[in-house]
Amino acid sequence: MFKYILNRLTERSTWLGLLALATACGATIEQALADQIIAAGMAAAGGMTGAAMALAAVLVFLRYRAVAQKQFGGISGDLAGWFLQRAELWMLAALAVSQWGGVL
């Protein structure tokens, strides 16, 4: 029985099902933790290019958080849109640099 359970834990559908069940039950995680999980997944899936893009996103997030707290007193929807645009642009720049001449 234990071997059967271990075999099921190696399947992608098991983890998707557990995630869906946790979500349906109302389990949530902090946005910062979700960002870190996504960044780790990008780095693992994309190798050095993914790591460069994830690093760009994390750096933009840290800057976004500092600016939002210092200049605006917190995060708003407009600032979230600003962050999204900046993160996408810097991730695209990281992708372009890593692909240009096979740098990374």
- What would the mean pLDDT of 14-26 be, rounded to a whole number? 76
| Top-confidence residue, 102 or 77 | 77
Instruction: Tell whether pTM > 0.75.
Output: no
CA 9 to each of CA 16, 18, 23, 64, 91: distance values in angstroms, whole numbers, following the listed order: 11, 10, 18, 37, 33
pLDDT higher than 90, residue 90: yes
pLDDT band at 45, cuts 50/70/90? low
User: Which alpha helices (DSSP H) does the chain contain, by range?
Assistant: 2-9, 12-24, 31-67, 77-99
- Tell me how far apart the terminal alpha carbons of the chain are, to the nearest angstrom: 45
Q: Is the pLDDT score of 104 beyond 60? A: no
Q: Give the mean pLDDT of the chain.
A: 82
Higher pLDDT, 59 or 45: 59
pLDDT for 92 beyond 70 = yes
49 close to 104: Cβ distance less than 8 angstroms: yes
Say what the pLDDT of residue 103 is: 56
Q: Once rounded to an integer, what is the mean pLDDT over residues 12-40?
A: 76
What is the number of other CB atoms lying within 10 angstroms of the CB of residue 56?
Answer: 22
Nearest-angstrom CA–CA distance, 13 and 16 = 5
Cα–Cα distance measured from residue 79 to residue 68, given in angstroms and rounded to the nearest whole number: 7
